[in-house]
């Protein structure tokens, strides 16, 4: 299995991610073609630079006049939502946007719908468009939440939007071209210090970045500067990797993507390792998001309806647990498991359809057996059997209950008889 591991000891930004992709062997033409297909007058300049003695690849976005545009990772904003920092900033992406705002009398802005249109009109693979639009929607949703406005009212500044579109679309093209089966990622170093936003001074990470990093393992270490940018956080969220130490793998390519600054004694780079997962007799693991809320004032019929809607809208599983709440009131703990990209939809469902005033959202590591289905012949018809395996060793075999129930109803026999018959047929088939 082809896997990739992101080592974010110096955080992550859009241009660092692009540089790491190229340094790890991605053909540059993949990125050039993706940017050219957008028809927004932008291009990429690729350089080799030194970061504390580490040779790495640096990406610079060129605007329509072929001038170097300092990468701006504070892409999304409502009104004037840029920020800069007085520290030795690893990715000084925000001052550039702020400077442009002062120098230009014409700050054309793009809404999310306009950026979707640009991406949709590009000559890009549908999967590339999907990743890019999802990443922009994640950025927009975080900004909308911070400013308490509708996501379609969020503005994207002209210079920032060009850099954002280039970073995100090129990254999406690179992700698609590498054809990685599974992504893994270290905890993210967010840095430290303070950043100056249009609405005041905030500790690192900036508000939108902090929102994007919810549920993702992070830590704060030297140097005292912003290390994770909004675009970097959105790309991580879109990739939905498994977090933790590097898995056992046979590494084939290593790439280093450079940040803007070169602080003394600190390699400001993102390291990407690509290789083959060393197959061991271990269950596969991934990350799922858990949404839960306790309800003691909602009609049980509505609770059941919400559970059904959750499954229809992409939940992996839904659980309803009886609980005793404050003042001795009986209630129901509603728990939803889902892939990270389904969180916004399911979060809105729970807030809209239930009486809750808030949700708990966190990520959990999930360990899974490999799953497959086999069909067995019984006196009551064909029944599917779900098989769970570890390193090709079958550990569990369970008849699909819906098949058994339908067969029992059709033959007017107890369902337990159909289940027993399916299990016997499955084991008889294995012994042949």
Strands 182-185, 242-243: pairing is parallel
- Rounded to two decimals, the pTM is 0.60
Residue pair 35/44 in contact (Cβ under 8 Å)? The answer is yes
Q: What is the structure's pLDDT at 65?
A: 44
What b/e readout covers 87-108, taking b as 16+ CB neighbours within 10 angstroms?
Answer: bbbbbbbbbbbbebbeeeeeee
**What is the model's pLDDT at position 143?**
81
Distance separating alpha carbons of residues 152 and 113, to the nearest angstrom: 7
Q: What Cα–Cα distance (Å) separates residue 25 from each residue in 57, 97, 274, 356?
A: 11, 31, 9, 49
| Pairing between β-strand 317-324 and β-strand 200-203 as defined by DSSP bridges | unpaired
Rg (CA), the chain: 25
Domains by residue range for the chain, with CATH: 2-277 (no CATH), 284-368 (3.30.70.1380), 370-431 (3.10.20.300)
Q: What is the pLDDT along the chain (432 residues), one digit of tens a residue?
A: 899 999 999 999 999 999 999 999 999 999 999 999 999 999 999 999 999 999 999 999 997 644 444 444 433 333 333 343 333 333 333 332 322 333 333 344 678 888 999 999 999 999 999 999 999 999 888 888 877 888 777 665 433 478 889 999 999 999 999 999 999 999 999 999 988 766 678 898 988 899 999 999 999 998 889 999 999 999 999 999 999 999 999 999 999 999 999 998 899 999 999 999 986 555 666 789 999 999 999 999 999 999 999 999 999 999 999 999 988 999 999 999 999 888 999 999 999 999 999 999 999 988 888 888 899 999 999 999 999 988 778 889 999 999 999 999 999 999 999 999 999 999 988 766
Neighbours of 181 (CB within 10 A): 10
């Amino acid at each position: 299995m082809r896997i990739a591991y992101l080592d974010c000891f110096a955080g992550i930004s859009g241009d660092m991610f692009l540089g790491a992709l190229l340094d790890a062997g991605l053909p540059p033409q993949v990125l050039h073609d993706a940017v050219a297909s957008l028809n927004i007058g932008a291009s990429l300049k690729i350089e080799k630079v030194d970061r504390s003695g580490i040779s790495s690849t640096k990406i610079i976005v060129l605007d329509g006049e072929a001038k170097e545009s300092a990468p701006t990772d504070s892409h999304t904003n409502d009104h004037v939502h840029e920020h800069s920092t007085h520290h030795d900033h690893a990715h000084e992406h925000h001052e550039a946007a702020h400077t442009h705002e002062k120098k230009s009398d014409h700050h054309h802005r793009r809404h999310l719908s306009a950026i979707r249109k640009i991406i949709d009109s590009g000559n890009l693979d549908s999967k590339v468009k999907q990743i890019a639009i999802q990443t922009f929607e994640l950025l927009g949703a975080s900004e909308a939440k911070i400013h308490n406005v509708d996501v379609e009212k969020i503005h994207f500044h002209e210079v920032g939007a060009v850099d954002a579109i280039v970073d995100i679309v090129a990254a999406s093209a690179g992700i698609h071209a590498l054809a990685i089966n599974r992504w893994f990622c270290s905890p993210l170093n967010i840095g430290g210090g303070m950043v100056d936003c249009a609405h005041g001074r905030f500790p690192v990470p900036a508000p939108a970045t902090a929102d994007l990093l919810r549920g993702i393992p992070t830590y704060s270490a030297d140097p005292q500067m912003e290390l994770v940018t909004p675009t970097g956080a959105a790309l991580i969220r879109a990739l939905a990797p498994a977090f933790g130490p590097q898995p056992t793998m046979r590494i084939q390519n290593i790439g280093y993507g450079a940040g803007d600054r070169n602080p003394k004694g600190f390699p400001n780079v993102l390291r990407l390792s690509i290789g083959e997962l060393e197959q061991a007799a271990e269950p596969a693991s991934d990350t799922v998001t858990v949404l839960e809320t306790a309800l003691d004032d909602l009609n049980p019929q509505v609770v059941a309806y919400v559970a059904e809607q959750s499954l229809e809208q992409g939940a992996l599983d839904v659980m309803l647990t009886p609980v005793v709440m404050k003042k001795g009131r009986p209630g129901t703990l509603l728990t939803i498991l889902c892939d990270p990209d389904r969180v916004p939809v399911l979060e809105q469902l729970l807030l809209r359809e239930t009486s809750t005033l808030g949700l708990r959202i966190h990520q959990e590591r999930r360990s899974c057996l490999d799953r497959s289905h086999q069909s067995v012949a019984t006196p009551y018809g064909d029944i599917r059997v779900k098989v769970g395996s570890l390193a090709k060793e079958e550990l569990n075999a369970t008849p699909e209950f819906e098949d058994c129930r339908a067969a029992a109803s059709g033959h007017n026999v107890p369902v337990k008889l159909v289940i027993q018959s399916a299990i016997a047929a499955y084991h008889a088939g294995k012994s042949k």
